[in-house]
Amino acid sequence: MDNFFSSINLFRHMHNNNFAACGTVRKNSVHFPKILKVDKKLDWDTLSRVVVDNVLAVLWMDNSSVTMLTTIHEITCIIDDYNHHMGKVDIADQLRSIMPSNYQ
């Protein structure tokens, strides 16, 4: 899920209704744990996590900080999925932009 839509409240609601959810999240999202809102540069591959209402909130240092939420992953698996699927939303948006408007 794209970070525009991600929030602890949404992921908790989806989890409570038996829907899986995973995606990046903005650090200023409501209820995102303050302890994971780090502005300073951390060592590469630093990994921190907090569970809030059955939602795993993650801070991972890649080239810059990456913040994520998930209801379906263990801590290490979310990084693998992120690396594998990163950019898929951008590709979908690009493909959608070239489709005729009657197909959107």
Q: What is the pLDDT of residues 38-74, one digit of tens each?
A: 888 899 989 999 999 999 999 999 888 999 999 998 8
Residue 33: DSSP 8-state? -
- CA neighbor of 18 nearest in space, from 51, 50, 54, 52: 54
Instruction: Return the pLDDT at 90.
Output: 64
Per residue in 7-29, pLDDT (tens digit) is: 999 999 999 999 999 989 999 99
| Within a domain: 1 | no
| Within a domain: 3 | no
User: How many domains are contained in the chain?
Assistant: 1
- The pLDDT of 26-38, averaged and rounded, is 93
Instruction: Return the pLDDT at 95.
Output: 73
| Within a domain: 2 | no
Element (H, E) at 86: none
Q: 20 is in which domain, residue-wise?
A: 8-103
The model scores a pTM over 0.95: no
